[in-house]
Amino acid sequence: MARLLNTTTFLPSTPSLRRHPLPRRRTLVIQAKIREIFMPALSSTMTEGKIVSWIKSEGDKLSKGESVVVVESDKADMDVETFYDGYLAAIMVEEGAVAPVGSAIALLAETEAEIDAARSKATSTNSPSPPPPAPAPATAPVSNSPPPQATFSTAPAVPVASAVHPASEGGRRVVASPYAKKLAKEMGVELSGVVGSGPMGRVVAKDVEAAAAAAVAIGGVSPGKKAAAVGTGIELGSVVPFTTMQSAVSRNMVESLSVPTFRVGYTISTDALDALYKKIKSKGVTMTALLAKATALALVKHPVVNSSCRDGKSFTYNSSINIAVAVAIDGGLITPVLQDADKVDIYSLSRKWKELVDKARAKQLQPNEYNSGTFTLSNLGMFGVDRFDAILPPGTGAIMAVGGSSPAVVATKDGRIGMKTQMQVNVTADHRVIYGADLAAFLQTLSKIIEDPKDLTL
């Protein structure tokens, strides 16, 4: 709340000193340091975010750079840090609620003395207008609400300064990691009864597992089995809203319809690649890393296939070859990116891929780890799929769908019949930038690299 500091003016009695005009009386306004914590844009496609959990509670002292809240974006769960020292005065968007990017989700007070003022501000902002005193139920239209309410229309209509948080016990907020919450839901463990061993008492996965084990020892029935018995079926006829990630995927797929694309298929023999994989698999090398490396080396020779068109008027030859690989995760799809795949050795690339997959499944990828791809791979070969077409992601020039390898009877160069292991790849490309001849040349180069993969281990 603003405070006024008035300054007085001294009038000298000596006439010579009164020749100069006197300064006007000034009123200095000192603003109370109450700052808003906004819903951040964690990716270029993010329009709203969901509060997964508040790491800090109302009244907690915060230091600059300290994590305050975990936000679910359209790609991952990320910790959001504060840019200032102070106190978390009021939480305006509770856990599980959704808020648009740029809207206030909490208030930060510089001193403890300003916490009450911040809470009053938050309550007046979030609380609906009081109903008319007269018994006129039809005369309380929503349109009469104050304009500031529109900013927080996605927040729950509950007072911010409530005495007990929904996910708390006796007024104590339960803070848990996203994976611990997911695990607790799967195992049927009530988080309010779990004692956290993580930083600041945060509940982590091992705490949930310990609580589940204790429940089995006491009751003889696994909470996981109970949860499975209740939640394994799908309620037919029910309408399920999109998650944040599913909404982002939906927007991207609709956007891709505006791009004129075409498809080219190619059959590649994989005997040499399979032999190499068997030889170096024990060193931690993955087939995904081998395919990404081979693709990157082919793109070096065909930079137009690694280009992108965003405005329909020009295109960019991307300076880096970053291979995005589609990964199915719980509730959606994400594309972790192997950056500079043409320059990184196959062993480092494989380690990086494993790290990215683990982070993707834990929803902990950083924005540059999923939005920097210049060429995309989608591989369904491990599911026995022999061929398929992929939809071009917005902002990229091409995506390659990789089918599984299988033995095939082929004619050899000397006219005999032989057996070869082959896989089918289909490339979908932006026809505004990439033409049929470009893709044909790229696929020929890729085929040569895979059929003679000695360069993949250099």
| Distances in whole angstroms, Cα of residue 297 to Cα of each of 89, 273, 408 | 54, 15, 27
Q: Give me the pLDDT at residue 41, please.
A: 79
| Residue 120 banded pLDDT, cuts 50, 70, 90 | confident
CB atoms within 10 A of CB 434: 25
Residue type, 161: A
Mean pLDDT, to the nearest integer, of 18-23?
50
Pairwise pLDDT comparison (405 vs 159), residue with the higher score = 405
Q: Give me the pLDDT at residue 167, please.
A: 38
> Tokens at residue 419, please?
């057996």
The answer on pLDDT for 132 being more than 60 is: no
Q: Give me the pLDDT at residue 173, please.
A: 56
> Are the C-beta atoms of residues 54 and 382 closer than 8 Å to each other?
no
Average pLDDT score over the chain: 78
* CA–CA distance, 451 with 269 (Å, rounded to integer): 6
Q: What percent of the chain has pLDDT over 70?
A: 76
User: Which residues neighbour 247 within 8 Å (Cβ) at sequence distance 6 or greater?
Assistant: 74
Structural domains of the chain in order of their starting residue, each with its CATH number: 34-125 (2.40.50.100), 259-451 (3.30.559.10)
| Residue 396 banded pLDDT, cuts 50, 70, 90 | very high
> Are the C-beta atoms of residues 386 and 406 closer than 8 Å to each other?
yes
> Are the C-beta atoms of residues 418 and 279 closer than 8 Å to each other?
no
Q: Give me the pLDDT at residue 174, please.
A: 67
Which of 102-116, 212-226, 315-329 is most confident? 315-329
Secondary structure in 3-state letters for the chain: CCEEEECCCCCCCCHHHHCCCCCCCCEEEECCCEEEEECCCCCCCCCEEEEEEECCCCCCEECCCCEEEEEECCCCEEEEECCCCEEEEEECCCCCCEEECCCEEEEEECCHHHHHHHHHHHHHHHCCCCCCCCCCHHHCCHHHCCHHHHHHCCCCCCCCCCCCCCCEECCEECCECHHHHHHHHHHCCCHHHCCCCCHHHCECHHHHHHHHHHHHHHHCCCHHHHHHHHHCCCCCCCCCCCCHHHHHHHHHHHHHCCCCEEEEEEEEECHHHHHHHHHHHHHCCCHHHHHHHHHHHHHHHCHHHHCECCCCCCCECCCCCCEEECEEECCEEECCEECCCCCCCHHHHHHHHHHHHHHHHCCCCCHHHCCCCCEEEEECHHHCCCCCCCCCCCCCCEEEEECCCEEEEEECCCCCEEEEEEEEEEEEEECCCCCHHHHHHHHHHHHHHHHCHHHHHC
> Are the C-beta atoms of residues 365 and 357 closer than 8 Å to each other?
no
| Residue 32 banded pLDDT, cuts 50, 70, 90 | low
Residue type, 5: L
Q: Give me the pLDDT at residue 226, please.
A: 46
> Tokens at residue 308, please?
């992108």
Mean pLDDT, to the nearest integer, of 134-146?
43
* CA–CA distance, 304 with 203 (Å, rounded to integer): 49
* CA–CA distance, 244 with 353 (Å, rounded to integer): 24
The pTM score is 0.60
Which of 157-171, 369-383, 401-415 is most confident? 369-383
The answer on pLDDT for 234 being more than 70 is: yes
Mean pLDDT, to the nearest integer, of 56-79?
82
> How far does the chain reach from its first CA to its final CA, in angstroms?
65
Least confident of 111-120, 145-154, 195-204, 345-354: 145-154
Q: Give me the pLDDT at residue 75, please.
A: 66
Q: Give me the pLDDT at residue 227, please.
A: 44
> Are the C-beta atoms of residues 36 and 107 closer than 8 Å to each other?
yes
The answer on pLDDT for 3 being more than 60 is: no
Q: Give me the pLDDT at residue 338, please.
A: 97
Mean pLDDT, to the nearest integer, of 16-28?
48
* CA–CA distance, 377 with 324 (Å, rounded to integer): 6
The answer on pLDDT for 67 being more than 90 is: no
Q: With b meaning 16 or more CB within 10 Å and e meaning fewer, what string describes 346-374?
A: beebbbbbeebbebbebbbbebebbbebb
Q: Give me the pLDDT at residue 300, please.
A: 97
Mean pLDDT, to the nearest integer, of 363-389?
91
Give me the phi and psi of 284, to 5 degrees please.
95, 5
| Residue 429 banded pLDDT, cuts 50, 70, 90 | very high
Checking DSSP bridges between strand 27-30 and strand 98-100, what pairing results, if any? Answer: unpaired
The answer on pLDDT for 131 being more than 70 is: no
| Residue 380 banded pLDDT, cuts 50, 70, 90 | very high
Q: What percent of the chain has pLDDT over 90?
A: 34
**Which residues are part of the catalytic machinery?**
431
